[in-house]
Amino acid sequence: SNDDSVVTLLDYGAGNVRSVRNAIRHLGFQIKDVQTPKDILNARRLIFPGVGAFAPAMDVLNNTGMGEALCTYIQNDRPFLGICLGLQLLFESSEENGPVGGLGLIPGVVGRFDSSNGFRVPHIGWNALQITKDSEILDDIGNRHVYFVHSYRAMPSNENKEWISSTCNYGDEFIASVRKGKVHAVQFHPEKSGDVGLSVLRSFLLPKSSLTEKRTERKASKLAKRVIACLDVRTNDEGDLVVTKGDQYNVREHAEKNEVRNLGKPVELAGKYYEDGADEVSFLNITGFRDFPLGDLPMLQVLRCASENVFVPLTVGGGIRDFTDSNDRYYSSLEVASEYFRSGADKISIGSDAVHAAEEYLKTKVKTGKSSIEQISRVYGNQAVVVSIDPRRVYLNDPSDVEFKSIRLTNPGPNGEEYAWYQCTINGGREGRPIGAYELAKAVEELGAGEILLNCIDCDGQGKGFDIDLIKMISDAVNIPVIASSGAGAVEHFSDVFSKTNASAALAAGIFHRKEVPIRSVKEHLLKEGIEVRI
């Protein structure tokens, strides 16, 4: 363990630290896993990527003696980097399902973001930092954005100010990083913050000997709007996993042979979009509703390979639900999701099963705790659970014709209808259900979804712009982030959706696959329009 290229990693098995591992390896280091408290005390440098919830993490640290070893290690000013929960655990306590006692090295209580002032919780996305003192590992990042995903945060106070090296503004000013001597911890995810994050990790692993003060003047920063590249993936008729893209969810070529449209290889395309500046990459296994995803080993392999080179968040969806296979073996949706997380996903996305759960919940008004949304968010946190909505417009002359929330359309329907409601569908748009997008969004937020991916079948693949009416309705109805999807065909469509609705992110597929507009041009256009983005 005296080898200069070894990093000791404290992974207590509560979730996905694959991306931290990938980032460390990408920088040319080897990983030694902590097995006993002694491994902590003997570490040359230690990275602690806290994952999961505060209380179970403290239980593990207390029950294994690792908490005590950590305290000794940190008090002896040994090289340490805590990430996310790995920062929060250093404080005295957390309100997450608590109060729960922490390691108590830094004065203060970790509390939940206040969503009452219009800020969506979880805080998901890219923010710039206010550096408050020489932080060493943040010296090189200037005004550039880093990726956050959390619902709880520590706040600056007189008692802890000697620790604070940067803060960030999201409704409140919260602690983005701490530093004392060789001990560092960051609330954001360097392993998911693209090249900026990799440079933070590199500075920790290879500290500079000279203390050059490189502080740049920093502008005030808001949460950046995200641009997400989406890869619809399925097996083609030859049995290969390909990226495809439909028109209004039809992915077959209109030509005679009626083949599945093949737009490239998923891992390659994900890598390319990361290089081009995508803030996230989503994979949707669009036939997951009929093929059991754990039987779909290629998809897990795609995730494993993609996460080796893509250092922004990865979402995967398709087929997440309880399942009994042909041998009568039962898999819970949590097991399915866990396999995706272990393979490199940061978030999972639930489509059809969320519709069933929401219908049931609205009927009974009881949260059973058994739905996939509840099970997965309880273990991995709300921020890891996205609900993908696939609604189709149903035109109306009179809004009182339906029990669902309808809206007055900006552009009337084909027969002059002035209203529409948005009917949720399942199984890739094949079946309409008696629930609207509005009712679904509210219900899944209550069940514990952390984000909504809002598609629109009518607009999908049309390149005529997002459905602003729908996106406005849903993003005003919920307090969790909403990702606008379906219909992007020009850079103006992105500025349109961000200026006219409260969407936090915009997702597109066809426009990028067909190489019509590079992600970079979308970002440059948004910047020109005064919309904050990560460059």
Residues annotated as part of the active site = 84, 189, 191, 232, 390
Q: How many Cβ atoms from other residues are within 10 Å of residue 27's Cβ?
A: 16
* Total residues in contact with ligand 1PR, by rule CB under 6 A: 33
State the residue for tokens 């830094």.
106
Query: Can you tell me which residue has the tokens 């969320």?
Result: 354
Of 87 and 316, CB closest to ligand 1PR: 316
Least distance to ligand 1PR from the beta carbon of 509, Å? 4
Q: Which of 249, 274, 438, 494 binds ligand 1PR (CB under 6 A)?
A: 249
CB of 97 to ligand 1PR, least distance (A): 28
Task: Confirm or reject binding of residue 486 to ligand 1PR (CB under 6 A).
Answer: yes
Q: Which residues contact 236 (CB under 8 A, 6 or more apart)?
A: 242, 244, 259, 260, 262
Q: Does the footprint of ligand 1PR cover residue 511 (CB under 6 A)?
A: yes
Binding mask 5-44 for ligand 1PR (x = CB under 6 A): ----------------------------------------
Q: Which of 70, 121, 228, 251 binds ligand 1PR (CB under 6 A)?
A: 251
Of 50 and 428, the one with the shorter C-beta distance to ligand 1PR is 428
266 in contact with ligand 1PR (CB under 6 A) = no
Question: Is residue 487 involved in binding ligand 1PR (CB under 6 A)?
Answer: yes
Query: Considering only residues 190, 351, 381, 448, which one is a binding residue for ligand 1PR as defined by CB under 6 A?
Result: 351
Range list of β-strands (E), 128-251? 130-131, 146-150, 152-154, 164-170, 172-180, 183-186, 226-235, 241-244
Question: Which of these segments, 120-128, 346-354, 414-422, 518-526, binds ligand 1PR (CB under 6 A)?
Answer: 346-354
288 binds ligand 1PR (CB under 6 A): yes
DSSP 299-361: HHHHHHHHHHH--S-EEEES--S-EE-TT--EE-HHHHHHHHHHTT-SEEEESHHHHHHHHHH
Fill in the per-residue mask, 299 to 338: x = in contact with ligand 1PR (CB under 6 A), - = not in contact. ------------------xxxx------------------
End-to-end CA distance of the chain: 38
Q: According to CB under 6 A, which residues from 445 to 464 bind ligand 1PR?
A: 455, 460-461
CB of 528 to ligand 1PR, least distance (A): 22
Rounded to 5 degrees, what angle do the CA atoms 12, 18, 22 make?
130
Contact 98, 112 (CB under 8 A): no
Sequence-separated contacts (24+) of 211-217 with Cβ below 8 Å: 211/134, 211/136, 212/139, 213/134, 214/139, 214/140, 215/131, 215/134, 215/139, 216/142, 216/143
**Across-strand partners of 94?**
100, 110
**89/511 with CB nearer ligand 1PR:** 511
Dihedral angle over CA of 393, 501, 225, 512, nearest 10: 40
Cα–Cα distance between 50 and 102 in angstroms, integer? 13
Smallest gap from Cβ 350 to ligand 1PR, in A, equals 5
Which of the ranges 349-357, 413-421, 443-451, 491-499 carries the binding residues for ligand 1PR, by CB under 6 A? Answer: 349-357
509 binds ligand 1PR (CB under 6 A): yes
Binding-site string for ligand 1PR from residue 184 to residue 203, where x marks contact by CB under 6 A and - marks none: --------------------
Point out which span in 4-12, 47-55, 282-290, 472-480 binds ligand 1PR (CB under 6 A). Answer: 282-290
Where are the strands (E) in 357-454, listed by range? 385-389, 391-396, 406-408, 419-426, 431-436, 451-454
Contact 310, 274 (CB under 8 A): yes
Residue 191 or 390: which CB sits closer to ligand 1PR?
Answer: 390
Cα 269 to chain centroid, rounded: 19
* 488 in contact with ligand 1PR (CB under 6 A): yes
Residues 107-136 touching ligand 1PR, rule: CB under 6 A, are none
Q: Which is nearest to 507 in space by CA: 282, 180, 249, 240?
A: 282
Query: Taking the complex as a whole, how short is the minimal distance between the CB of residue 344 and ligand 1PR, in angstroms?
Result: 18
Report DSSP letters for 203-229, one per residue. HHHS--SS----PPP-----PPPEEEE
Query: CB under 6 A: which stretch of 143-151, 158-166, 345-353, 522-530 binds ligand 1PR?
Result: 345-353
For residue 319, the minimal CB distance to ligand 1PR (Å) is 5
* Of the residues 135, 352, 375, 406, which one makes contact with ligand 1PR according to CB under 6 A: 352
**Is residue 15 within 8 Å of 51, Cβ to Cβ?**
yes
Alpha helices, DSSP H, located in 34-102: 37-41, 54-64, 66-75, 85-88
Q: How far apart are CA 30 and CA 272, in angstroms?
A: 26
Annotated binding site for L-glutamine: 84
Contact with ligand 1PR (CB under 6 A) among 203, 338, 349, 501: 349
SS3 89: coil
Which residues in this chain contact ligand 1PR in the complex, by CB under 6 A? 230, 232, 245-246, 249, 251, 284, 286, 288-289, 317-320, 349-353, 388, 390, 428, 455, 460-461, 485-488, 508-511
